[in-house]
């Protein structure tokens, strides 16, 4: 009877050992599956990031193309407006910087020697300036 009891205990221990080994194997397979799922998630995240970057770069390229097209249209429109106005009277007249320099000279001359008359050539240049600019210079 002792032999039967020992055989039963040995059989029970054998069954428990096999069960434990199979449980460990199942746990290892489960861990491997979790690792694979994590890798798939990582690959998915990288794919999503690449798609976001590609869409962003594409949107920037579209915006740059639109801005360049708008710049070309504005440039053509300005060229048409310049061509439509034609050349100015007398070959261009005085530039704003020339008028500012003349005004500064007039003010400096007025401070230093107000008794001296203005040279005739400067008076002729001022008479060629359109009326609205003359009123600006005199104020």
44: left (phi over 0), alpha (psi -120 to 50) or beta: alpha
Asked if 113 and 67 sit in the same domain, the reply is no
Q: Does residue 7 form part of some domain?
A: no
Query: Which one, of 102, 112, 111, 90, lies nearest residue 134 by Cα?
Result: 102
Mean pLDDT, range 21-31, rounded to an integer: 95
Whether the CA torsion 14, 16, 22, 25 is positive or negative: it is negative
Of the candidates 86, 109, 129, which is a domain's last residue? 86
Full domain range(s) for residue 139: 92-139
Residue 135, in any domain of the structure: yes
Instruction: Show which of 63, 86, 109 is a domain's final residue.
Output: 86
Both tokens assigned to 5 = 């009891």
pLDDT one-digit tens code per residue, 30-87: 999 999 999 999 999 999 999 999 999 999 999 999 999 999 999 999 888 887 775 5
């Amino acid at each position: 009877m002792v032999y039967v009891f020992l055989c039963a205990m040995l059989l029970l221990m054998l069954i428990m050992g096999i069960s434990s080994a199979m449980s460990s194997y199942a746990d290892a397979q489960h861990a491997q599956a979790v690792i694979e799922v994590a890798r798939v998630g990582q690959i998915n995240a990288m794919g999503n990031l690449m798609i976001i970057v590609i869409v962003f770069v594409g949107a920037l390229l579209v915006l740059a193309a639109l801005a360049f097209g708008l710049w070309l249209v504005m440039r053509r429109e300005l060229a048409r407006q310049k061509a439509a106005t034609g050349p100015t009277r007398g070959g261009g007249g005085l530039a704003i910087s020339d008028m500012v320099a003349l005004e500064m000279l007039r003010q400096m001359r007025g401070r230093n020697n107000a008794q001296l008359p203005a040279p005739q050539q400067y008076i002729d240049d001022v008479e060629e300036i359109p009326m609205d600019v003359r009123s600006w210079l005199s104020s």
